[in-house]
Every structure is written in C-alpha cells, then in structure tokens.
A and B are shown apart, each in its own frame.
Chain A
Amino acid sequence: MKILGKITILLCGSLLLFFTSDFPDFGDANSPASLHLSPYFIEHTLEDTAVPNVVTSVLADYRGYDTMFETTVILTAGLACFLLLRIPKRAVKNRYYLHEPTGVTLRFEGDKYPQESDVFKRIDSSWVPYDIIINFTCRLLIHFIQIFALYVVAHGHHSPGGGFQGGVVLGASVILFAISGNLRAAIKRFGEKTAALFSATGVFIYAGTAALCMVLGENFIDYAALAPILGSDRIMARSHGIFIVEIGVAVAVMAVMIWIYYNLSSAGKQDEGL
C-alpha cells in the first residue's frame, strides 16, 4: 500500500513538473493572468471605490461575496470545534490546589473543592511554576498588540492590512494572555459565550450589511445603496461599506480564533490547559 502511494506521488510529481514548462515565466508581465482581468482592478479601484489598496477593494467589493463566505468558513470551523470537542465542566475529575501559606499541593476529587478561598490557589494538573517575568512582559505587550491590531483593521484601505489580519492579531493578544497566565484567567475576562456570540455577530455584520443593500433596492453587497444612510456619494459609500464589513470580519476572526483556542487547548473542558 505504501509503495503504491510512493509510486503515485512520484508519477504525480513528475507530471506536474513536466507541465510547468508551459507556464509563463516568473515575473512575466504579459501573461494572460496579468492581462485579462487584473488591469481593470488596478486602474479602476480609485474611481469605483475610492480605495487605493487594490487587494482590499477586490476582497471586500468586487469579490466581496467570496469574502463573506470566507468569514463564514472561519465561523464554521469555530462551530465545528465546539460541536466536536466541548464537554461539560463537571466531567473534570481531579482538581489541584496549591495551599499558598505552606506551599503544599492538594488534589481534590469529585465535587469537594474550595470554591472561593484566599489560601487555596487552583493550579493545572501538569503545572508549570508561575513565572512573573513572562507574565509581566506579556501583560505589557498585550496593549500594544491590540492597538496595532486596531490600526491594521482601520488602515486596510491605505496600507497592507484589513479585517482578517487585524482580527488574527487581536485574537493572538488574548491567546497570549491565556498562555502567559492560565486559561481560566483568560476565560474569566473573555468568556466562551462572549466568543461564540461575537463570532456570530461579526459574520452577521458582514452578511447583514450585504442584505441591507438588497433591502435598500440594490443588488446584494452593493454598498452604493448605503449612500443615503451614510450621507455620502455612491463611491464613498462603497469605501465606507468596505470599512464596515472589515470591522465585522475582524470581530468574527478574533472571536473564532479565541474560541478554537479555548476548545483545543483544554480538550473541550475549558477548565485547564496551556
């Protein structure tokens, strides 16, 4: 079976290599790919949408329908991880507590464990000693990461960036918090329900804006329909519409990244984990 697999791969690979000889050269400006559609996008992006970043305007306007489903793909992954992995907390059998005055670690089985206590501190079963340097550094960094993320989201019209990139950076900041401290502290600040609701809301901002354009009498996702609401001309309305959906994308991507991390790192218990 394995030999068969190797032979298939070898055949497939040599076939693919053989066919590369007909490709246009790397960097060839006269290949069909660069001549048929793409000049339109580059030359008309400013007059159509007033967005200088062509990738953003193609992503969220010309091919905005793709991007709406792309955001939905992310949500689907979040929902899938939740559906597959999540198990209720009471399935946790053992809990470990550190008795801080003495430094003794105790294991509690079943339901009997100190709920709110000044002397007992919950620790993970595979416990790594708490490191104040890492924790402090990360807490310092997180603010700057988040501000940068907001910049990336907001400046997607004029520089590389946009909702996906900014959303991932935002999500990473919360994940960094969870890694540097522990999962429970992160869940306390950004709960699972919040993550789930945010991820649905983010995609809803996108799809809702798109559907609103339809209700206002234009085609689906045609942001020009928003002009009367936004109080601008039809071209600027496209630019603003792109910005609105980018925010939706950022919210969705951030929340789903965090949600997937919570479920994967704790094997669905959302109690302890890396």
Chain B
Amino acid sequence: MENLLSVQNLTKRFGPVTANDGVNLEVRKGEIHCLFGENGAGKSTLSSCLYGYYRADSGVIRFKGEVAELNSPADALRLGIGMVHQHFVLVSNFTVLENIIVGSAETGLFLTKSDARRKISELCENCGIRIDLDREIWELSVGEQQWVEILKALYFGAELLILDEPTAVLTPQQSDQLFRILDGMRKRGLSIILISHKLREVMQSDRVTILRKGRAIATVETSETTAEAITSLMVGHKVNKHVRDRSVEPTGEVLAVDRACAIGEWGEDILKDVSFNIAHHEILGLAGVAGNGQKELFETLMGVRALSSGGFSLEGELITKPTSREMLDRGIGFVPDDRFLEGLIPEFGTAENLILGWQRAREYCRGPFLDRRKMDALARRKIEEFKVVTASADLPVERLSGGNAQRIILAREFLHSRGLLLANQPTRGLDVAASEFVYEKILEKRASGFAVLLASEELDDLLRLCDRIAVIFKGRIMGIVRPEETTLLELGMMMAGDASDVQRTVQ
C-alpha cells in the first residue's frame, strides 16, 4: 500500500531533553494509525512536528512522496494535514457552518454560505456525521463539537487528520460514535493518526507505532498482536495489574453523605442530593465524565467548599461547617486531582511538602520552630519507601515528574490519615507502572480497613479495584452499582445522564 506520510529520523530537542530521538514513522493511505506511549514518550511532540507547530531539529518528513517544509500549521493545512486538538478552537455563539468556514481562503470578503453548505453536507454524508449545521456551538455536546473540529479539517482539504487524545473528554458511547466516523473516513481513503494511551482505542486501529522515551520502538499490525504485547512494548517490561482482594468484605460505615447539595457562583446546582456511604475495607469508585461535580464533591468533603444543604457524617458523627483543618485533624487523607495546584507547594522540597498541613503538629515542631532533623529523617524514610526519584530532600518538587510528585502526596496522606482516604484522579497523567504503584498502595489501605473514595476516568481500573461504583452526572449520583453486576455500556449510559433503565443503588 502506498505511504501518504513518511517520517525519517526525526529528532526534536528541548534544551537538554530529547523529546523525539530519530523517529521513523510511515502512515499509509486509508489507515488509522495509532501513536501509543506513556506520558512523555514523545507522542505530542511528534504530532506537533507533523502539524508544523514545532520545527524538527533534524530528519525528513515526506508527504505524498515529496519532502514537506513544515514551518507553520498553515503550511501543514495547505499540504493537507489537519489536526484536532484536545481543547477545541470554536466560537461558541457561531453556528456549526460558520465555525467551519471561518478563516477559509475561499470565503473572501463575503461569505458564500450556500456553496459551503453543500460541500459540508456532502462531507457529513460521506463520513456518517449527523449534525445540524445551523445550531450554535454552545448548544452541542462535547462529542458533537469534536465532529465540528473534524469537519473543519476536512473542509480545508485534510487528507491526513491528527487527533490528539480525542476520547479524553468523551463518554464510552461518544467514543464509539467517534470511531464509527473515523472508520467511515478511512473507507474513503483518508488517513488518521490517533494519539492515545487507552488500549481499548489502540486495538481499533490498523497499525500501532509504539513510542518509548522519545524513540519509536516498533510498528505493528493491530490484528496480529495483543493488548498485552503492546503494553509490554510501551513499558519495556511486563506489568502486573492489581485487583482488589474479594475475600475482604466491607463492614460498618465510615463516611455517610446525606443529600449533599452545593450551589455554584451563578446559582447553578453543582451537587444535587448526593448520597452515598463507604464502609471499612471498601473502595467506592466515582465514575463520570470530567467536570460533572467530582472535584466539587471532594472539595466539600475536605471542608474547602461549603454545602448549601445536606451534610455528611464521619464515623457516625455529623460534620457541620467543616474546615480543612478539622478534616485533616479527623484523619482524612486527600489526594487532589491537580497535584501541583492543590496538593503541593511547588517551591518546597520533598521534606517540607511531606508535612504540608502538619507544619504545626507536635511531631515536627519544637514550640514555634520546625524540627528540621525530624523532617529530614521523615523525608529520607519516605523517599526510600515510596521510591521517590529526587536529587535531594530539598530539591523543589516543581522539578519532579508527575509520578514522583504523586508519590510524595501519597506518602504524606498515608502517613497522616486514619480511616478515610479521598482520592480524586490519583493516576491522572501517570504512566502504567506509576499508576499500578498508586493502586497497589490504595489497595493496601483498603486491606488495613480504610474506606476509600476513588474517582477515575479509567473505567477499566474502577471495575477491577472498586467494591462499588457510583456514577455522577451533572452533580447527581445516577446510581451505585457493583462491578460484577454492570457493564461498560451501562456505566457509559449513566455517565451520559441516561439512567432511566439502569438507575439503581446497591448498598
């Protein structure tokens, strides 16, 4: 088959960091080609070079057999390379049609919408996209907005479409729809580069190029390999996935949330009648598309956001007007989703971050003074126990990788918490090995009797780790289900707010 794009020996450096190191890549006409790798493996850099956003330090990019000079995204577009970013670039009070033709060279001074409309309708039909061209962007779901981005690229004549983590913001159903559309495009001879770190999606592509530490390790035909093989290639070794120990049964009740409501800045409901409970030895999963109230739920439980009504009790004791101080003193561990914003002081080293929240605790102080010796001893112990890679206990944590930063937060929270752990997206942005380390530690806490609230966008992870899974949509709990009694389809429907058939809550 003919190669639409071929990349030879592409190298891109950022200062001392080599993001792409002699990468070779060939994309055929009419295939879905997946770039697969952990965070920092060089996927985004590579695609940015292909899209003309970065200039490669060395290497040759050929498009349709000719050497492509990509100095800007405009060059890429002119050649026929389009990109759909994770964050959409749409004007929210323009219609779909207007968004697509805006900036196109053919419009000239006056917009000739009728020609454009005909052309776009044709594109829609060919790719199986059903969308009303006259609706304004703000009326559309996230999935539909993504279609508009795709249409925009196609309208500009893209023959190669690069999609950067396209399903990060979608429900499973929306992802399926997206893949049906991509399939339609492939059949029409368009090529697609799909950047992903989700195995489920990778397996739907034609070929996969696995990147590791900036190098292209291998390109394989998806039909001739397995998910396990691809994962091993990505990580460089075999990965053991942890599952919960089913012989340990949840007992009692640690946290009980009762009809908790919270109201946002403009009077909108952020949390509406949220009720659930968590027992000792239990992990309650919290599933939902990002931005449906998960963050706010954690914030209310940590006492940094006020409830408008309802409340919660801890170990049977009703908590009224909590403060973060009180919740920490009651032994709640909290792993925030944005670790550098909410969990760490970036300019502080490991030693000081390990006592954040406890800088006045008797363990680390002598009167008003910090006990540096105790802090340093603690840091040495925890750096070893949690395998934190840092030059010294005083190196600012802003210079550490996300995985190492997360280890510091976990070390701190596990040390100071008693009974309840709140973990919001604890593996966000972490590679497979680091994620499994986090899960292993959380499962250890479950075994020791902790109640754990674990929010994640990785449904597969929730299914193997959690005793029950609560699904949240627009601030409401759509239902609480057991992993062994549910399916991805059912979870996906609940995540999309369609719970008419499945709404149920198990205790």
Q: State whether these chains interact.
A: no
